[in-house]
Amino acid sequence: MYVYIDGEIKKAGEARLSVFDHGFMYGLGLFETFRVYNGHPFLLNAHMERLEASAEELGIVFRYEREMVMEEIQQLLDANGLHNAYVRYNVSAGPGDLGLQTTPYLDPVIVIYMKPLPAAGAEPIQKDALWLQLRRNSPEGRERMKSHHYMNNWLAKQEMKDRPEAEGIFLNEQGYAAEGVVSNIFWRRGNTLYTPAVDTGILNGITRQFVIQLAHENDYIVEKGYFLPQDIEAAEEMFVTNSIQEIALVRALEDRYFPSCSAAQLLHSRYREERETK
Ligand X SMILES: Cc1ncc(COP(=O)(O)O)c(C=O)c1O
Ligand Y SMILES: C=C(O[C@@H]1C=C(C(=O)O)C=C[C@H]1N)C(=O)O
The residue ranges that bind ligand X (CB under 6 A) are 33, 146, 153, 179, 182-184, 203, 205-208, 241-243
206 binds, options ligand Y, ligand X, none, Cβ within 5 to 8 A by partner type: ligand X
Q: How far is CA 164 from CA 126, 157, 181, in A?
A: 13, 8, 11
Among 10, 40, 83, 88, binds ligand Y (CB under 6 A): 88
CB of 151 to ligand Y, least distance (A): 12
CB of 115 to ligand Y, least distance (A): 9
Q: How many residues bind ligand Y (CB under 6 A)?
A: 7
* Nearer CB in complex with ligand Y: 96/268: 268
Indicate whether 241 belongs to the interface with ligand Y (CB under 6 A): no
Question: Site map for ligand Y, 7-36, x if CB under 6 A?
Answer: --------------------------x---
Indicate whether 157 belongs to the interface with ligand Y (CB under 6 A): no
Nearest CA to 26 among 147, 152, 155? 147
Q: What strands lie across the sheet with 109-116, from one edge to the other?
A: 8-11, 2-5, 109-116, 85-92, 29-37, 40-41
Cα distance between residue 97 and residue 85, in whole Å: 36
82 binds, options ligand Y, ligand X, none, Cβ within 5 to 8 A by partner type: none
CB of 144 to ligand X, least distance (A): 8
* Nearer CB in complex with ligand X: 95/227: 227
Three-state DSSP class for residue 127:
strand
Asked if residues 2 and 80 have their Cβ atoms less than 8 Å apart, the reply is yes
Asked if residues 55 and 62 have their Cβ atoms less than 8 Å apart, the reply is yes
Task: Fill in the DSSP letter of residue 138.
Answer: P
* Nearer CB in complex with ligand Y: 116/175: 116
Q: Which residues contact 86 (CB under 8 A, 6 or more apart)?
A: 33, 35, 114, 115, 116, 117, 244
Cα distance between residue 96 and residue 25, in whole Å: 9
* Nearer CB in complex with ligand Y: 96/167: 167
* Nearer CB in complex with ligand Y: 96/202: 202
Indicate whether 265 belongs to the interface with ligand Y (CB under 6 A): no
